[in-house]
């Protein structure tokens, strides 16, 4: 389980960093008037690029949600196993 939790934490950190970096990019590269601008202009960030990020983040979030569902089920199973192990010091605890 240590290996699993280590890998889970690394994965979860990667996902959190993705959204943190996306938010930082939005806050630092989009000018306040970007939504009313016509076309993309010469700026690196504009409406089209923002919307590509929105769509990508939607897919990433769906993937992350499934990962969390599987992680939750794994932890619930671990809780059951811990409850049934002879000599377990966690009897009565729930996952």
The secondary element (H helix, E strand) that includes residue 33 is none
**Region of residue 41 (phi > 0: left; psi between -120 and 50: alpha; otherwise: beta):** left
**What is the pLDDT, as a whole number, of residue 89?**
60
**What is the pLDDT, as a whole number, of residue 95?**
45
**Region of residue 39 (phi > 0: left; psi between -120 and 50: alpha; otherwise: beta):** left
pLDDT along the chain (95 residues), means of 10: 94 98 91 74 72 95 98 96 78 49
**pTM of this prediction?**
0.76
Q: Are 31 and 46 in contact (CB under 8 A)?
A: no
**What is the pLDDT, as a whole number, of residue 69?**
98
């Amino acid at each position: 389980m240590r290996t699993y939790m280590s890998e889970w934490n690394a994965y979860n950190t990667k996902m959190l960093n993705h959204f943190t970096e996306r938010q930082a990019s939005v806050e630092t590269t989009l000018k306040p008037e970007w939504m009313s601008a016509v076309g993309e202009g010469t700026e690196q960030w504009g409406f089209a690029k923002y919307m590509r990020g929105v769509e990508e983040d939607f897919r990433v979030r769906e993937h992350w949600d499934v990962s969390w569902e599987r992680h939750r089920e794994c932890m619930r199973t671990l809780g059951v196993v811990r409850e049934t192990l002879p000599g377990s010091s966690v009897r009565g605890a729930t996952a």
